[in-house]
Amino acid sequence: MKRTRTYSWGDAEVLARAARESDGLDFLGRIGSGALPEVPAGVTTGIHPVEVGDGWAVFEMTPEEWHFNPLGTVHSGMLAGLADSALGCAVHTKFKAGVGYTSLDLTIKFTRPATLDSGTLRCRGEVVTIGRRTASAEARIADGSGRVIAHAIATCLLLT
């Protein structure tokens, strides 16, 4: 039986403009509170911010059938996207208005499969170091029982 999925998203330019004009913590807080539209990639993937603070960010994703690989588990790319969101946004919380970033690398280690029975997956990213040109962060993804599904590190290039 073929399944379908329909969704919509807001204007991405509204987000891009707000990102340029706001410091990172304020910008991400406004997304989380609903004052700014949801991020289109988050709407598409089901990866959503739930908390942000100075140097950290928490994102969640509830596994759905459309996240699956051919083996019936959540595709590793979805988990990498969850980790990348928390890692990058943790770094973003440290920025003044007008500063951006791009990922230089992402390393992720998968420790167990995620399925529909895993419950909501929660990923907390935390800044490890931040310098003039690069920042690094680390994260863990845990299932609904608190078991680690994956852990990751990333380096971001700061854009001024």
3-class secondary-structure state, position 98: coil
List the domain boundaries for the chain: 12-159
Closest C-alpha among 79, 64, 93, 85 to residue 142: 79
* Placement of tokens 């800044």 in the chain: 127
AA letter at 78 = M
Report which DSSP code applies to 35: S
Beta bridge partners of 135: 130, 156
> Using DSSP, how many helices (H) and how many strands (E) does the chain show?
4, 6
Kindly list the strands in the beta sheet with 134-142, ordered across the sheet, starting from the edge strand earlier in the chain: 48-53, 56-61, 121-130, 134-142, 148-159, 100-110
Q: What is the average per-residue pLDDT within 48-69? A: 96
Neighbours of 70 (CB within 10 A): 6
pLDDT tens-place string over residues 99-138: 999 999 999 999 999 999 999 999 999 999 999 999 999 9
Strand-pairing partners, residue 148, are: 142
Per residue in 137-149, pLDDT (tens digit) is: 999 999 999 999 9
Domain 12-159 has CATH 3.10.129.10: yes
Give the largest Cα separation in the chain, rounded. Answer: 53
- Beta-bridged to residue 150, according to DSSP, are 110, 141
Q: What is the pLDDT of residue 64?
A: 94
